[in-house]
Structure 1
Amino acid sequence: MTDARPLGTDEATFIAAARSGDTARFALITEPHRRELQVHCYRMLANYEDAQDMTQETFLRAWHKRESFKGHAALRTWLYRIATNVCLDFLEKRHDRTPVPAELADSELGYLQPFPDRMLPEDPQESVVARETIELAFIVAVQRLPPRQRAVFVLRDVLGWPAPKAADALELTVASVTSALQRARATMREQLPGPRLDWRSPATHELSKDERGVVKSYIDAHERNDLDGLISLLRDDLRFAMLPDPGTVTRTAGDAVDGWISGGLFQHGHDDWRGIPTTVNRMPAAALYLRAPGTPDYRLFAIAALRVVDGKIAELTGFDVTGKPWLDLPPAL
C-alpha cells in the first residue's frame, strides 16, 4: 500500500517509536487521529459507543502491528486501513448488525446513536466531517449496505480514496472495488431523497438561522407545555422515530401527534420540561429534561435531532437517554 509520497515526519517518528517500543511516543503520534477514526468507525457501525470501542481496538492493533509499518503509506492511511478492518471484524461477529432491509423502517435500527458534534475533529479534512455524510439519514442509509460494500463506499465516496488504495486496504481487486461501489451508490440513491444525493459535493457545516430558530422554538414549546406551538413547527409530512423503541416510525405530523398525546405528552407527569439546544451529527438538536412529580430536579430524558426544511421540522428522531449520561450533557438541571 503506497501513497507515492516521501517519508514524512510523522511516519519517521512513528517508525522510530515502533522500533524502540516506546508506548508513550506511540500514543503521542497516533492520538491526533483518534477523532477522525472515531467518525470513520461511526459511519461503519452507526453506534457512537461501538465507534469509541473500535477506535481503541484500532490503536491496540496498530501497536501490535507496529513493526509492519514501513512508511510506504501515510500513517493516517495505515490507521484507516486498520480501523476499517476492525469494524469489518466486529460486524462479522455481530449477528444483530446484518444489513438493514430497505423495507424495514428506521425504528428497526435500534442500535443507532447520535454522534456528538463536540467529538468531531477540531481541524477536520472536509471529507471526514462533511455534514452531508454524517447526518442521521445518511448514516442509516449506509447501514443498508453489506459490510464490505459499506467499507468500499465509505473509503471511496466519503474519504475520496482512489480505487487501488481502497482495494489494497480491503485486500480486494480493483475490479471488485469498482463493482461494489456501483452497487453501493445505487442503494444509497434509492434510500436518500434527491436533495441529499450530493454527498460528494462541497459540504456545509454551520446551522442556518432557520435551524437555530426552530430548535429554540421547539424547546420553548416544551417548556410552556404548548402542544399547539409544537404542532405549528411540524411539516405535514413529518417523519418521526423514537429510538430504540421498535415500531415508532410515523410519516405524518398527525400520526406523530396522536402518538404523543396517547403517550401522555404534556399531561400530568410529562408536563414539566426544560431544554438545552445542542447539535448532533451536524444537525440541530434539543436535550430535553423532565421533572417527575414530587422530585426537585429535571432529569435528562431524551435527545431530539431535527432536520429542518423551509423553517419547519421535516424529520424528528428522538433518542431515549433516560438514566444515561450522554454527550457530556448534565444529567440533571
Structure 2
Amino acid sequence: MVKSLSKRIGNAVILLLAVLVLNFTLIHIAPGDPVEVLAGEMGGATPELLAELRADFGLDQPFHVQLFTYLGNVLQGNLGYSFYYDKPVTELIFDRIGATLLLVITALLFALFVGTALGIASAQKRNSLLSNVVTLLSLAGFSAPVFWIGIMLILLLSVALPIFPIAGMATADEPEGNFAYILDVVWHLVLPALTLASIYLAFYSRLSRASMLEVLESDYIRTARAKGLSRFLVVYKHALRNAVLPVVTFAGLQFAQVISGAVLVETVFAWPGLGTLAFESILRRDSPTLLGILFFSAVLVLVVNIVVDIAYRIIDPRISAK
C-alpha cells in the first residue's frame, strides 16, 4: 500500500502542475481585461494609470514570463494577490473554504448514506412500492437541473411555507461561538445541502440498487443462504461489503462534480463559500483569485481520490494484497 500511495502522490503532483499551466493559459487567453474592470469600478482612469496598474500586476510582461512567475510563486505557497479584493488569495480562500466544505461534505454524506440505504432496501424487494418510488425519484433527480431544484425548494419551503431561511449562512445579528449560532447555521444549511445532494442521491440509490442486485445473485450468497443464515447476515455481512465498492469508487470520482455543483447552489442561496467567490471573480476578471480557487479545488479532489483509494483497499482485502 505504501508503494501504491507513493506512486499516486507522484502522479498527483504531475497532474497539479498540468492543471496550473492549463488554467493559467485558459484564463490568459479569455476575453476581458481586469485592469479595465478595476477602472470601471473606480469610475474611469487615464491611460497612464491603466499602464501603471498593468505594471503593478505584472500584466505588461510576456505570457511565458507571467506563467513562470506564477508557477514559482505557487511552489513557494504564494497564490498571488487579488486584483479586486486587495487581499492575498490564500487569505480569501481560507476565509471561504469552511463554508464550502461544510456544504459539500454534508450534501455528499447525505446523498451517499441515504441513497445507498434506499438502493439496498429496494434491491431486496425488486417489484415493491419502495423500489418503484426509488426508481421514480432517481429519474427525477437525474432530469432536474440543480439550480431549478434550489429555486423550487425556496419557493416551497421558504416562501409558501416559511420554514427555512432563503439565503445566507447565518442570521446577521446572531453571535458566533455558541450553541444558538450552530443551530442557526444548521438551519440555513438544510436547503442548500438538500439541493446539492438531490442529484447524487438519485445516482447512489440507482448504483447501489444495481450493485446489490448483482451481488445477491452471486454463488457465495446462494451458499450463505443454503447454510441457513438469516437474511440480515446474508445482506449486511456478506453482500453489503462487495455491493458498496462501486459506490465508494464513484463517491471519490464525483467529488469534483459536487464542488462544481456547489458553485450554482452557493449562488442561488447566497452561501458565502468558494463557489460564490469564484462567480464574483469571473464577473470581475479577478484572475489570481480564480486561479487560486481552481488550484485549491484540484488539490481537494486529488486528496479525496487518494483517501477513497485507501478506503477501497480497506473494504476489499483482495486489492490490498495486490
TM-score with structure 1 length normalisation?
0.25
Q: State which structure, 1 or 2, has the greater radius of gyration over its C-alpha atoms.
A: 2
Question: Which has the larger strand fraction?
Answer: 1
TM-score with structure 2 length normalisation?
0.26
